[in-house]
Structure 1
Amino acid sequence: MTTPVVAYAGSPDPAAPLVILLHGRGSDERQILTLAEHLPVGPSYAAVRAPIAEGGGFAWFANRGIGRPVAESLRAGLDWFRAWLDATAPPGRDVLLIGFSGGAAFAGGLLLDDPSRYRATAILYGTLPFDAGLPTTPGRLAGASVFVAQGEHDSVIPRELLDATWRYTREESGAEVLARRDPVGHGIALAALTALSAWLEQQLPQVHS
């Protein structure tokens, strides 16, 4: 895999908290970067292009069904991403993840793989990558801060995976979770975006100190 293509917004300060935006399957970094316009001022925002070309856009991993990553493909993607991240944000710099749809599954995979690496993680309209070689044991995310947003009428991500993500994060993971469901389909509700921005600001008190 090649070096990631990354689009940036927000603070150019290399010490600023780094919020990484992970797009959905078939999309790209430019589309997800528009989220930064609705999020707090202060952090640096980095939208990363997924490594696999697909459908006029890009994907984070090969699927064996919607929301069900091929374990080997997910593992390769996680390792590729971490090589970039560790070179970009040395230990000590706050890193936060915001993933949408397929990017939500990838963000969840990164979190499950190394929960202590990320200050906070948002799982938007997607599922955690269950049965893909990563631990989803009780208490795995103890100490982690997680935001979950789902659409009550989402017809893209299988309902059983959305329900499993809802249940695991809120009841089993051990994470500190803010979770919401809105009467929308597979797209970010305005109220959820407002809540995401407020939650993100709470994760970044040092930005406004």
Structure 2
Amino acid sequence: MSAAPTTFGAPVVATHGSDDPAAPLVVLLHGRGSNEQEIISLAPHLPGGVAYAAVRAPIAEGGGYAWFANRGIGRPVASSLEATMSWFRTWLDDVAPSGRPVVLVGFSGGAAFAGGLALADPARYAGAAVLHGTLPFDAGVPVEPSRLSHLPVFVAQGEADHVIPRELLDRTWRYLHTESGAPTVGRRDPGGHGITAATLHRLAGWVAERFLHLRATPAAPVGAPSGVRWPTLPGGALPDRVGPRPDVSWAIPQQQLSQHAPADLQEALFARVSALPGVTGADSLISVPGARAFVLPEGSGPDDAFLVPDAREFAHLHPGYDGSLHLALPAGQAADLVARGWGVPHPWAGTRLAAGFVMLFGPRTPDELETVVGVVTAAHAAASGG
């Protein structure tokens, strides 16, 4: 297949839903061998009050977003992808000027295109769904750690998918759930290369939750953080965590599965945080049985500084078999925490929960205990109104 042309005709677009030019917009991107009329059929099953636009791929060959080279899906031609993204952005910037939330939903080849758009300019979008497809790793788009911080992502795959190479599906899954920094909701179905009713139902919920969150709360800055200050840590900066990240469950409840903190360090951590000004202990109202909450009854911080605002629970320590914490941090500190290897976003951050809702890994050494206490102290400062 030759590279795509550098110019394309006007987009062919099918629409559904709200005709309010300010309504949130979901852009549906079809797969190879499909078209805009087929994928717009998903829209009646997605939330109301939203505008939907399905855009026909500009490359006739293959009938989809076909910027793939000889080996087929998963080997993008960089110049073709760049030209297609430029063509798409010209259309999008006209129909959705700055300030109108846009969520991308792509299936198969359209998933690679949606992922490429999000990676190229993550701050442009309010979310991205990658359905039964791969990110365009070989197309020249940036895939550095924390590239997608605070950009909610929904990823769905089929366990028996024989259309997309398994190594690319696994690489996409791993990057989105770990290195990307994106709060990622994942679904794995037993089927193959197709959207199941259960996945469509969960996608609809995720879209609704994202737009409801944006209606109530300004969007957190998206993208890799820089220059983040930590007044509660020596030198005002968070050091990089040593070694690989531990394994973390991708399903709810979110749990740390390896590199657990020793029991004595867990208890030392609990004692140190419990001694912070105004803190009281309680059973967590949002976590698994046995999780111990840190509550600040007189905390005057904003609701986003708490895991459970009504109860003023700003952090909790998971049971001994886990040893990690969940806590609420200001958005910049949350992104920096993930970028430096100390934690991962909660999958529901920015949808059902505050954008700064993160998992903090348990301390493996006394030195790490000091860092972890300093991070929790930052959450305490935010909850205190500092």
Q: So what's the TM-score if we normalise by structure 2?
A: 0.52
DSSP-derived class of the 1:59 partner? coil
Any idea what the Cα deviations from partners look like across 1:165-193, whole Å, max 9, x if unmatched?
A: 00000010000100111101000111111
Kept in 2, the 8 Å contact 1:43–1:207? The answer is no
Question: Any residues of structure 2 matched to 1:130-141 within 5 Å, and which?
Answer: 130-141=137-148
1:115 correspondence with 2:149: no
Any idea what the Cα deviations from partners look like across 1:80-131, whole Å, max 9, x if unmatched?
A: 1001111111000011100000000000000000001110100000000002
1:157 correspondence with 2:164: yes
Kept in 1, the 8 Å contact 2:64–2:110? The answer is no
Higher normalized contact order (CA 8 Å, seq sep 6+, divided by chain length): 1
Kept in 2, the 8 Å contact 1:60–1:106? The answer is no
DSSP-derived class of the 2:84 partner? helix
Q: Distance in 1 between matches of 2:119 and 2:66?
A: 16
User: Please, which of 58, 69, 78 is the counterpart of residue 64 of structure 2?
Assistant: 58
Kept in 2, the 8 Å contact 1:60–1:77? The answer is no
DSSP-derived class of the 1:204 partner? helix
Kept in 1, the 8 Å contact 2:118–2:125? The answer is yes
Kept in 1, the 8 Å contact 2:65–2:113? The answer is no
Tell me the residue number matched to 2:95: 88
Q: Distance in 1 between matches of 2:137 and 2:215?
A: 37
1:35 correspondence with 2:42: yes
Aligned-partner residue type, residue 61 of structure 1: W
Tell me the residue number matched to 2:275: none
Kept in 2, the 8 Å contact 1:127–1:161? The answer is yes
- Matched length: 208
Instruction: Evaluate the alpha carbon distance shift between residue 95 and residue 118 of structure 1 in structure 2; reply closer, same or farther with a 3 A threshold.
Output: same
DSSP-derived class of the 2:172 partner? helix
Kept in 2, the 8 Å contact 1:120–1:146? The answer is yes
Larger Rg: 2
DSSP-derived class of the 1:191 partner? helix
Identify, as 1 or 2, the structure richer in strand.
1
Kept in 2, the 8 Å contact 1:6–1:49? The answer is yes
1:172 correspondence with 2:179: yes
Tell me the residue number matched to 1:6: 13
Any idea what the Cα deviations from partners look like across 1:143-168, whole Å, max 9, x if unmatched?
A: 11100000000000000000000000
Worse-matched range after superposition: 191-200 or 102-111:
191-200
Aligned-partner residue type, residue 99 of structure 1: G
Q: Distance in 2 between matches of 1:192 and 1:3?
A: 32
Q: Distance in 2 between matches of 1:136 and 1:89?
A: 25
Q: Which runs of 5+ in 2 are unaligned?
A: 1-7, 217-386
Query: What is the CA distance between 1:8 and its match in structure 2?
Result: 0.3
Give the ranges of 4+ consecutive aligned residues of structure 1 lying more than 4 Å apart after TM superposition: 206-209
Kept in 2, the 8 Å contact 1:25–1:54? The answer is no
Q: Distance in 1 between matches of 2:121 and 2:70?
A: 24
Instruction: Evaluate the alpha carbon distance shift between residue 40 and residue 137 of structure 1 in structure 2; reply closer, same or farther with a 3 A threshold.
Output: same
Kept in 2, the 8 Å contact 1:26–1:54? The answer is no
Tell me the residue number matched to 1:193: 200
Tell me the residue number matched to 1:19: 26
Q: Which runs of 5+ in 1 are unaligned?
A: none
DSSP-derived class of the 2:64 partner? strand
Kept in 2, the 8 Å contact 1:26–1:59? The answer is no
Cα-Cα RMSD:
1.4
Query: What is the CA distance between 1:208 and its match in structure 2?
Result: 8.5
Kept in 2, the 8 Å contact 1:98–1:107? The answer is yes
Q: Distance in 1 between matches of 2:35 and 2:13?
A: 10
Query: What is the CA distance between 1:63 and its match in structure 2?
Result: 2.9
DSSP-derived class of the 1:46 partner? strand
Aligned-partner residue type, residue 101 of structure 2: D
DSSP-derived class of the 1:98 partner? strand
